[in-house]
Chains A and B, each alone.
Chain A
Amino acid sequence: MNAEDETRKSAFIRFYPRPNDSMWSELTDEQRHPLLDEQGARFLNRLREHPSAPRFNWRIGDRLTREGLETVRAYERELRAAEIGWQRGEIPDWLNEFVTRCYERVPFYRAYGDVPQNFFDVPLTTRADLARAPEMFVPDDLPLDDLIFYGSTGTTGHHIHVPSHPTSAAKYISLLRAALDKHGVSLQGGKNRVAIANVCFQERTATYAAILSQLNGSGVVKINLHPNEWNDANDRAKYLNALQPEIITGDPLSFAELMKLELAVKPKALSSTSMQLETGLRDALEKHFACPVVDVYAMTEAGPIAARVGEHFELLQHRLYVEILDERGEACVKGERGEIVLSGGMNPYFPLLRYRTNDYARLEFSGMKPLLADFSGRAPMVFQGENGKRINSADVNRALREFPVWQFTLHQNADASLLLRVVNPNVPLEQIRAELLRLFGAEQKLEIVRMESFGAQDKVVQYTSELERG
């Protein structure tokens, strides 16, 4: 392994430690919550030390300073006042200036050369570009003191690190509010109450409790419904019942699990992201929880993009331009379904210029208002392990994050054997095998193939299975 690979490997291992390892940064709770007051600190302790609380494995805060909070408030004011729209085939007023700024200040885009006269001549950006050198997307003039990042794998199989900032993270809440507004739900927050419970259902994921100054000191928890994370499986319901979260966010798999619990919570809404929410499950959830289920299309690189209203997804961000392109990168004709490509965004640390999402939809217009139709997000995939054990694709993601895998696909054959294809000449295959067998079971048949690349456009279907999905 050469020095560059060693650096890459160590960087990945450093970026993605296992939860429960010794991994806390030297930040204090006060630094994690710069605007935390005494009441907030007491409430945070209550969330963490509740007798039914899970074994939280991650320390986190909103990291919002007074200045950062003002930035977020200004963003919210702009968001509320803005009209989202443009004429079909044209671009919104703000976009040309945004492109020029990117070409001037963002090293990756600067390397393209001169700004094209026509926006549609800007080259497309792919997830592979971001995976190779995330640092090249951070504009020259942004301070690095509070830089953070989020990791993701997504549908193309590239491990990525998206540079970000606490104010960008806080804008998720602004956009969640915008999505809820579309369904007549108002997220209010307030002291001594939990505004958001983010629920997961995975073998392993980061879990935490935090306080949100943006929502006037209310709490947010991220919890994993997997019984391994709790002292007693019954604590899952007890904890949520005690918290009475205003809103519950999650994905279809975790919501399906949530319905199995003896809950007495009355959330104003559920908000689903991350995976495709089938209509049947949505209807069942709305009936079960007696509240709207707001389906949000979001991705780590762009944040919340659109929320479902009726049959369409309406855009949430006022400075996000959406194109629908065919496989050659050409604009689809009116009504044709194609890949969603994004420009702009709400995260100044990763400005998007014609970023290919690997998600698909048609673009329709209601007047000037763009709508996504026939949207297909990432379908949840459940694999079968030893003795019929069900393995969520998110757990496979997490298991492989530990390794310097640049891209991978996992296929389950009709006989339940697995084929893993990984890209990176120096990835330690035996260690990956051991990790996957730990997840699937020691007797699981598993073939691992090392690949040079997946070829054209860096697009792959990451998870496939010949087994019946049940």
Chain B
Amino acid sequence: MNTEGPFLESLTRRLAETPPEFLLEPRIGNKGAVNVAAVVNDTLVALGQDALTQNDARVFQSTDAKQDRNRLQVTLLACWLLYDEWFRAHSEFTERALYFLQDDVRALSAVTNAQKFISDLDRREELVRVTLSAFGLRPFGETISQAQDRLMTLNAAERERVIQAARVAEQRAQAVREAMAKKAAEEAAAKAYRE
């Protein structure tokens, strides 16, 4: 975060105005509309980086929608963000772009649905700050400590939300398991048929 990058607001606004093409379903197996590997490749080239190798492209190809759809959706949003004029004009900062798209995006998408990075103000800001941080940048006009504090606050709040949601979900799952384990549940109710 040693270097000042673009204005935070210019990037959060860019996310809020993500064009519909970047919200189409990612190609997974024989379904979906957008070839994510191709979009990543175009983005890297536009940033002045090496084109995607066949090996690296595999990360952005999938046949498992349940596993990879959200990650690939977030990847598309991240590509849209990186295509911003500022990044394209400063290729010296985006050498880690591929690493960012492979790893940081995976971590972000593990806890947040893609749509939230557009519709939720804090998640928009988080995606922008994580992106800048991955390239050693901070928003224009902020000190290093301000940028670090704000990113940590956003991360912590999201982590807390996720932990809380996971706790509630596990409690519910446990309650369902206990209800199913009761003799009365097993006894069931009379049906007209057996299948």
Contact = CB atoms under 8 A, between A and B. Distances in A.
Interface stretch (A18-26, A78-86, A438-446): A18-26
A105 to B, nearest CB: 11
A39 to B, nearest CB: 18
A163 B192 CA distance: 17
A118 B190 contact: no
Contacts of B70: 112-114
A220 B192 contact: yes
Interface string A141-171: 0001101111010100000010110100110
B65 interface: yes
A206 B192 CA distance: 14
B180 A147 contact: yes
Interface residues of B, number: 36
Given A118-B25, A135-B180, A172 B192 contact: yes
B31 to A, nearest CB: 6
A11 B181 contact: yes
Nearest to B180: A149
B45 interface: no
Nearest to A110: B169
B113 A114 contact: yes
Contacts of B172: 107, 140
Contact of A164 (B169, B177, B188): B188
A169 B25 contact: no
A42 interface: no
A208 interface: yes
A271 B179 CA distance: 32
B67 to A, nearest CB: 9
A419 B134 CA distance: 56
Query: Which of B70, B185, B187 lies at the interface centre, i.e. has the most chain A CB atoms within 10 A of its CB?
Result: B187
Contacts of A163: 176, 180
A55 interface: no
A293 interface: no
A58 B190 CA distance: 10
Interface string A111-127: 11110111011010000
A63 B187 CA distance: 10
A359 to B, nearest CB: 11
Given A107-B173, A147-B185, A134 B180 contact: yes
B31 A147 contact: no
30 contacts: A14-B181, A15-B181, A15-B186, A58-B187, A61-B189, A107-B169, A107-B173, A112-B65, A113-B69, A138-B176, A140-B172, A144-B176, A145-B179, A148-B184, A148-B185, A149-B180, A149-B188, A161-B180, A163-B180, A164-B188, A170-B189, A176-B193, A198-B194, A220-B192, A222-B194, A249-B192, A273-B195, A300-B195, A329-B31, A330-B30
Interface of B: 25, 29-32, 65-66, 69-70, 73, 113-115, 169, 172-173, 175-177, 179-195
The 8 nearest A-B residue pairs measured at CB: A25-B183, A113-B70, A135-B176, A169-B189, A144-B179, A210-B190, A166-B189, A123-B65
